[in-house]
Each structure stands twice: as C-alpha cells, then as structure tokens.
Amino acid sequence: MFKKLVAIALTLAVFMGTGVTAAAAEARFQVGSPVYTLNGAQHDIVDGVEPFIEGRRTMLPLHTVAEIMNAELTWNPETRTARLQRGEDSVVLTVGEELPDGMGTPVIRNGRTFVPVAFVAEQFGAETSWDADARAVYITGLAPVAVAMPLLPADIPPTLPDVDVDEDEDEDEDEEDYAEETDAEETDVYAKFNAANEALMEAGSFRMVSENVMVMEMVLDDEELVIEMTSVMYIDQVIRSETEVDMRMEMVTSVAGHEETSLSYFRDGVLYMEILGEWIKMDMPVADMLEQTGVVTFPEEAITHQAMEGVDGGYAISFTVDGAAMTEMMAAMFEAMEMILGEAEAPEVELSDVVINAVLDADGMLASMILVMGMSMEVEGVVVVMTMEMVSEIVQIGGVEVAFPELLDEL
C-alpha cells in the first residue's frame, strides 16, 4: 500500500506541477568570464563585467547576485548601502564596510558594486563551493521563495471533506455542484491568469522549477500514521504548435529520509512516467485534461473569491477553485492511472477548495504561483487525508530544448 500511495502522490505532483511553477537557483560563475549558467542555461553578466578574487573571496556584481537569488534590491547612494530582500530574509551590505567573520568587503569597481557571494548565499540559506582548477564558484541549495501574497484567505488550508466510500450515490444527481459564478469584474482576474499562461505558451519554450510539500495522514492497524513527502521538480517544455507540446520533467523526492529521482516525458499526446523504477505510459485522457498545453485549466463557474492588486508593474492575483470541480478532474485523472494501481480500482477521491496565488510580470506573463489544496481518498480500505502546498516559478523563457531517450520508443 505504501508504494501505491507514493505512486499516487508522485503522479498528483506531476499533474499539478506541469501547469506552473519556483526557482531553486543553481548557478556557476567563473573568475574572469562575463557569462554564467543558471539552472543549466547560459546568461550574460550585466555590462559584461567579470567576477574576480579579492582577499580570497569571490566577488560578483550585486545586480546579478540579486537576480539569481530572486531578491529585491534597493540602493542608498548617499550611504552606498544595498539591501537585498528575499521573502522574510534580508541582507544589508555597505561598500567599504567589512562583513562579519572575515567574509570580505563590498567594493565598487568600474562603476559596479561587487559583493562576496559566499556571504550573501549563506544569509539566504544557500551554499557555495569552489573549483580551484576551473576557478569557478558554484551556488546551490537556494530554496524557492514563497511570494508574499496578502490576498491568501486566512482559513487556508481549508477543512478537508469526509469520504464515505460505502454510501450509495444518487444516480439521478447530474447537476454540477459548483460554486456560484462571480461577477464580470472578478472574472477578469481568472481571465488574466489564463492570458498569462497563454503568453507563456506563445514564448515557444520555457523552464520551470516547482517545490512541493505533501502530508498524508491515515489510521493503519489502529495507529495514526503521518507521512511527509517533499519533492523538487524541474520541467522543460517546448511548444511546437497549439496542440503539440514536448515536455521533460525530473523529480527528486524525499520520503522518510529516502531520496528517489524519477523522470517523465510528454510527446505526441502521450505521457511516459518513471515511478519507483517502473516506466508507465498514459494516452489521451491525460493530454485531454492538460489540453496539451501544459497548463491546468478549470471551469469558469468553479472560480470564486477572486482578487487582484498591482505589484511592480504586474499583478498579484488570487482565486479559489471549487472543490467539486477539482474532484471531477482528479477522478478522471485516477481512472487514467489504473495501470499504476494494478488490479485495484481507481481510488474514490474528494477534494477541498483549491487556493491559487500567482504573480504576473510587467509583460503579463506568469512569473510564479503558490497552490494549496487538500484531498481525501480510500486506498485498499484505508482512508487517507492528503494536503499539498506547491511553490512555483518560471526560471527561463526561450532557448529550451527537450531530448527524448530511445527507450520511450520501446514502451
């Protein structure tokens, strides 16, 4: 049963993660080089300046450090002091003022402010390593930032629904039990969200990173059991046409101290998934649910509690998806998963309302998203309650390619 639960949770993360995404920056800088790599993609350093060594510390341009750390930068020219704000964490750096523990001193060179990268990375919980032969510094382990969204309702996570699998359903009950429609002004919020996703599709290709935390609770043999699963998913997506999408997903999952890496590919209306060492293949029902765009969409009548405010030339938006609509979507998905579940039938599921917060950039394109949802289901006679929080961000737009392994042709 445990293997089945993990498979269900992994598949759920894949489906919800393909829509939108949060950056876990992995960067490489080389002393004397005006370019760097971020999550495998090459970028130019601003104005072509180059990292250098001073006092045994690698110095990087302040603006570039702020970009890869996904931090907001403010500068006081009178005191020559910079502040980097990342979520609730902040770092203050003053030119010419020595940092604690001999970590170096910010300097100005050729009109640009340089800072000791190891100090900034450490303050934001990241790590740096040094390759002496290549004279390169690596920045790893920078966790995604949960975007501050005051629009998030205070009662999240929502109360999970009860699942009673023995109760007979009324076969004549065909009416969709969705939430009431919102007014035209509120509907514009969800329209902006869809337009932001469409703009991302029109970009041709993009890379996303998504960090998910799932908690599963159940009673097994009269004992309460709580399983926490965390995963980081790296997604490369290429849009060949309105109906043809290539996708590669790599997920690193940790459960009870055990780490597992799995791969998924999407091509020509088929999703190939490697879960717990086994490859499985899903046909059109999955592509239909995702509408072959990589973006999960919802019935407009299921959208409630919409809000929006301006942020840095773009928008911070928030909306809720009615649980009844999500229950129908997940039921269809689990039916397509029966090959994973073996001889057992797809589990009966019921979802709470889903809360989505997103940030749209100044170009109207999706930049980041936070999703919170809850679900209850029965697996092999055991009722499992699951909650999930996903923090996501677009980390590259354009220049992304997907290479498919030959083994897919043999499945």
DSSP secondary structure string, 86-132? ETTEEEEEETTPPPGGG----EEETTEEEEEHHHHHHHTT-EEEEET
Mean pLDDT of 162-180: 41
All structural domains of the chain: 2-23+146-163+182-410 (2.50.20), 27-140 (3.30.457.10)
323: enclosing H helix or E strand: helix 323-336
- Least Cα distance to 9 among 218, 312, 236 occurs for 218
Residue type, 336: A
Using CA atoms, how far residue 256 sits from 115, 214, 251, 315, 380, in Å, is 38, 12, 16, 38, 21
Higher per-residue pLDDT: 302 or 182: 302
Please name the amino acid found at residue 369. M
**What is the distance between the alpha carbons of residues 385 and 372, in angstroms, rounded to a whole number?**
14
Structural contact between residues 53 and 66, judged by C-beta atoms closer than 8 angstroms:
no
Task: Say whether the peptide bond before residue 405 is cis (omega within 30 degrees of 0).
Answer: no
Q: Which of 94-98, 134-138, 192-196, 269-273 has the least mean pLDDT?
A: 269-273
Specify whether the CB–CB gap between 63 and 111 falls below 8 A.
Answer: no
The DSSP 8-state label assigned to residue 346 in this structure reads P
Model confidence at 175: pLDDT above 60? no
Among 129-133, 227-231, 389-393, top mean pLDDT goes to: 129-133
Cα three-residue angle 355-357-359, rounded to 5 degrees: 165
pLDDT confidence of residue 275: 66
Q: Which residues of 266-293 are buried (b: 16+ CB within 10 A; e: fewer)?
A: bbeeebbbbbeeebbebeeebbebbebb
Contacts made by residues 136-141, CB under 8 angstroms, sequence distance 24+: 136/28, 136/29, 136/30, 136/31, 137/28, 137/29, 137/30, 137/31, 137/51, 137/58, 137/60, 138/26, 138/27, 138/28, 139/25, 139/26, 139/27, 139/28, 139/29, 139/68, 140/26, 141/24
Q: Is the pLDDT of residue 333 over 80?
A: no
Q: Helix, strand or coil for residue 32?
A: coil
Where residue 16 falls among pLDDT bands split at 50, 70, 90?
low
The mean pLDDT of the chain is 75
Distance between CA atoms of residues 5 and 378, nearest Å: 10
* Cβ atoms of residues 25 and 69 within 8 Å: yes
pLDDT in the model for residue 337: 54
| pLDDT at position 181 over 50 | no
Residue showing tokens 């949802």: 373
**Would you state the pLDDT for residue 57?**
92
Mean pLDDT of 320-345: 65
Helix axes 2-17, 323-336, angle to 10 degrees: 120
pLDDT of amino acid 89: 82
- Residue 146 is encoded by which pair of tokens? 């949960």
Residue 395 has pLDDT above 50, yes or no: yes
Mean pLDDT of 57-62: 93
- 116-to-25, 52, 301, 347 alpha-carbon distances in Å: 17, 10, 52, 53
Strand order in the sheet with 127-131: 41-44, 35-38, 27-30, 136-140, 127-131
Is the pLDDT assigned to residue 152 strictly greater than 70? Answer: no
- Contacts of residue 191, defined as CB under 8 A and 6 or more positions apart, other chains included, come to none
Dihedral angle over CA of 205, 207, 213, 218, nearest 10: 40
pLDDT attached to residue 99: 94
Least confident of 55-59, 308-312, 389-393: 308-312
Percentage of residues of the chain with pLDDT beyond 70: 71
**What's the pLDDT at 291?**
44
At residue 154, the pLDDT reads 34
Average the pLDDT over each of 143-152, 274-283, 303-312 and give the range with the smallest value: 143-152
Mean pLDDT of 254-277: 78
Distance CA 271, CA 228 (A): 26
What type of residue is 15?
F
Is the Cβ–Cβ distance between 204 and 325 less than 8 Å? Answer: no
Mean pLDDT of 41-62: 87
Q: How would residue 60 be classed by pLDDT, with cut points 50, 70 and 90?
A: very high
pLDDT at 226: 84
What is the mean predicted confidence (pLDDT) over 123-129?
87
Coil, helix or strand at residue 16: helix
Segment holding 191, helix H or strand E: helix 184-202
* Most confident by average pLDDT, 29-33, 47-51, 345-349: 29-33
pTM of the shown model? 0.54
Percentage of the chain lying above the pLDDT 90 cut: 13
User: What's the confidence (pLDDT) of residue 117?
Assistant: 93
